[in-house]
Amino acid sequence: MIIKKFKNCGLVPRFLFAFCLSNIKFLMRIKINMEKLRVHSGHKLFGSLKVCSSKNAILPILAGCVLCNGEITLLNIPNFSDINKMCEILKSLGCIVNYFNGVLHINSKNVDRFLVENSLSKDIRASIVFLGALLGRMKRCVIGQPGGCLIGNRPIDLHIQGLKALGANIYEEHGYLYCNGENMRPCTFKFEKQSVGATQNLILASVLLKGKTTLKNCAKEPEVVDLVNFLKSMGAKVSGAGTGTITIYGVDELHSTIYLPIGDRIVAGTYLTACAITGGNVEICNINPNHLSSVLKKLSFCGCQLCIKNDKIKLLANQRCKSLKSITTGVFPKFPTDMQSIFLSLMAISKGKCVITEQLFDGRFKQVPDLIKMGAKIDTFCNMAVVTGVENLSGADVSATDLRAGAGLVLAGLKADGYTTIDNVQYIDRGYDHIENDLSILGAEIERIT
């Protein structure tokens, strides 16, 4: 029985430790939850801003650090709360983690644990990619069910199917996944549908697995490509990233590396859209325009003028935007679901009517009641929203329900008469390193208050 192999994991003492730690941090959490953002409209955006490395690229890279029997240096790393949570997981597994001035140093030589406590996994969706990484390094893993923003049904069945195809034995008990990978072997596996996290998990599980593993119908997102490039910088043999078929030839070990993750396409898209909402002229640096091609095309159709050169994107908005006829989210290179909430605010103040169809998640319209409270005209039907643009919104007290919905409300506040106050700012901090600082650099009047 597999369960016998986990009797000595020390789960009970760790549960007690996690319980005590959570109580010690209770007052800190209360303080964080009391923070709000206050936005005052009437300011166009101007200037240049360098975006940080991509949160959605960094998180699986951090899990991949477990596979390296050495030291890793990651550059241009923002102080996102999700990144901090992943670093806490690394520390719990035996890694030494140090962060200073945007540089993250990780020493993974002494990884000797394979348990990811529920107290660490429950608040972050990306914790699930430690499943593949720990199976790759330790051949075993016990992990709590992943959490994250409540944006709809987000099953992990594709992750489990793929790892079982590799030979992992997995079962669930008391909210934990118990995984034994001692009999894992290479295989050819085809995903039923494209999944970024499942693709990353199987790559991580396969890079140290002797032989050839072929993955089909893989996710093509830039964050998948960046994970592969990171692993290759440590000596992994992986080809095909960015296409539907990825091939992995297992190696004996991965070595130390210094790596610069890609720029954050969602943060870049957010600030470009902010300028489209307010008007002005901004330059966003450190971003691959190809990663934002669908977003840039939409902004151009709205009437914005774009100038693209190398890793810089300039946007000029000198008049009220025109509504798009429709927006439909999809897997890369289609319009990203993470930008849907951002464009919902843009369409709310644009000229005309737009139909937004959300294809990936069933909980992406939770900010609609607050936008209506601010004067937006939006009707929702299942996975669709019909947005009739108004010329101006009105400031109000609103609440972030998830990361991107919160950012969308901040952008709406930039075009709302008077003051808009957004609470539950901890959701926004999951993907923006103090969004108020970045927008203030561009000329917005926004501050964090308690």
Instruction: Compute the distance between CA of residue 326 and CA of residue 161 in angstroms, rounded to an integer.
Output: 35
Mean per-residue pLDDT, 19-34: 49
Model-level pTM? 0.88
293 & 204 share domain: no
Please check whether residue 394 lies inside any domain of the structure. Answer: yes
**Which of 52, 149, 179, 354 is an active site residue?**
149
> Which pLDDT band, with edges at 50, 70 and 90, does 359 fall under?
confident
What's the mean per-residue pLDDT of the chain?
90
Looking at 219, 239, 259, the residue that finishes a domain is 259
Q: How confident is the model at residue 361 (pLDDT cuts 50, 70, 90)?
A: confident
User: Based on the domain organization, do 103 and 233 belong to the same domain?
Assistant: yes
Question: What pLDDT is recorded for position 33?
Answer: 65
Residues 6+ apart with CB under 8 A from 284: 48, 49, 50, 51, 268, 271, 272, 312, 313, 314, 315
Amino acid in the structure at residue 56: N
pLDDT value of position 168 = 96
- Looking at 237, 259, 281, the residue that finishes a domain is 259
Mean pLDDT of 422-447: 95
Residue 17 in this model has a pLDDT that exceeds 70: no
- Residue 442: how many other CB atoms lie within 10 Å: 23
- Give the three-class secondary structure for 382: coil
**24 in a structural domain:** no
Going by the DSSP 8-state scheme, the letter that residue 309 receives in this structure is E
Is pLDDT of 285 > 70? yes
Residue 450: is its pLDDT beyond 50? yes
Strand order in the sheet with 103-107: 96-100, 103-107, 71-74, 257-259
Buried b (16+ CB within 10 A) or exposed e, 403-422: bbbbbbbbbbbbbbeeebbb
Does residue 183 form part of some domain? yes
* One domain for residues 238 and 314: no
Based on the domain organization, do 236 and 315 belong to the same domain? no
CB-count exposure of residue 248 (10 Å: 0-12, 13-18, 19+): buried
Residues 348, 411 share a domain: yes
pLDDT above 50 for 8: no
Residue 26, domain member (yes or no): no
How many domains are contained in the chain? Answer: 2
> Is 119's pLDDT higher than 70?
yes
Per-residue pLDDT reduced to its tens digit, 59-95: 999 999 999 999 999 999 998 888 999 999 999 999 9
Domain boundary, last residue among 244, 259, 274 = 259
Reported as a pLDDT band with limits 50, 70 and 90, residue 184 is very high
pLDDT value at residue 13: 45
User: Quick check: is 22 in a domain?
Assistant: no
pLDDT of residue 20: 45
Confidence of residue 286 (pLDDT cuts 50, 70, 90): very high
Indicate whether 386 pLDDT > 90: yes
Neighbour tally for 305: CB within 10 Å: 12
What is the model's pLDDT at position 362? 74
- The CA–CA distances, whole Å, from 246 to 5, 213, 291, 416 equal 33, 8, 19, 47
Burial of 165 (0-12, 13-18, 19+ CB in 10 A): middle
Q: What per-residue confidence (pLDDT) applies to 123?
A: 77
Confidence (pLDDT) at 159: 92
Say if residue 185 is in the same domain as residue 60.
Answer: yes
Does residue 1 sit within a domain? no
Pairing type for strands 36-40 and 237-239 reads: unpaired
318 and 202, same structural domain? Answer: no
Same-domain status, 220 and 275 = no
- Asked if residue 219 and residue 84 are part of one domain, the reply reads yes
302 is catalytic: no
Res. 5 pLDDT band, cuts 50 70 90: very low
Domain co-membership, 310 together with 382: yes
Q: Is 30 a residue whose pLDDT tops 50?
A: no
Q: How far apart are CA 339 and CA 428, in angstroms?
A: 14
Q: Which has the minimum average pLDDT: 22-26, 362-366, 430-434? A: 22-26
Determine, yes or no, domain membership for 4.
Answer: no
Pair (295, 401) in one structural domain = yes
Q: Under a CB-based contact definition with an 8 Å cutoff, are residues 418 and 395 in contact?
A: yes
Chain centre distance of CA 247: 25
Q: What is the number of other CB atoms lying within 10 angstroms of the CB of residue 291?
A: 26
CATH code for position 234: 3.65.10.10
* Same structural domain, 425 and 382: yes
In a domain, 199, yes or no: yes
Q: In terms of C-beta density within 10 A (0-12 exposed, 13-18 middle, 19 or more buried), how is residue 308 classed? A: middle
Range of the domain at 254: 53-259
pLDDT at 4: 41
